Amino acid sequence: MESQRSATIFEINDPELDPDAIMAAIRTRIEQRRAELGYEGRTFPNFGAAAYAGEPKDLAYDADLHHYLRMVNENYANAETEALLVSSPATRIPVLGRIWQLIRGGAHGLVLFYVNRAVTHQTEINRQLVSVLNRMTVAIETQQRTIIGLQADLDALRHNREE
């Protein structure tokens, strides 16, 4: 196996042929054919979560909304799932105490394995929900800016009509 792979799919050693031009022509024909057959263009979401945009500088905003939105962005992935085994009188018995300690540790480890799986899944859901909240907040603020602009235009039209 090669230690380094080529960045291209195929290699052409003929100086009269340009692989980049050939690939560009192929891609163009694929796009044309898809358009002819009526394929819908697909868009894929950007990688990662939608980040918290912060408080708007040009709008009055709900301070509580942005406070809680900031808090949920900071804390949605925080979950404490470490084993916490407090000492008990049973663990102080010379031979049986050590066996009991191993059994307790194994049982806690087993429970934490399944809890961590559930927490990982829930954290991913939380990340997606927080991303939706962030995007919705930005969309609402954009709509608010549009409404303010339209209200100003309406007021100007009313004022011109009254004159």
**Residues 128/77, Cβ–Cβ less than 8 Å:** no
The Cα–Cα gap between 35 and 29 comes to 10
Domain positions in the chain: 13-163
pLDDT, one tens digit per residue, over 72-102 is 999 888 888 888 888 888 888 888 888 988 9
In this prediction, residue 7 carries a pLDDT of: 57
The predicted model scores a pTM of: 0.58
Q: What is the pLDDT of residues 136-148, one digit of tens each?
A: 999 999 999 999 9
Model confidence at 45, pLDDT cuts 50, 70, 90, reads: low
H-only helix segments in 15-95: 19-37, 63-75
User: φ and ψ at 156, to 5 degrees?
Assistant: -65, -40
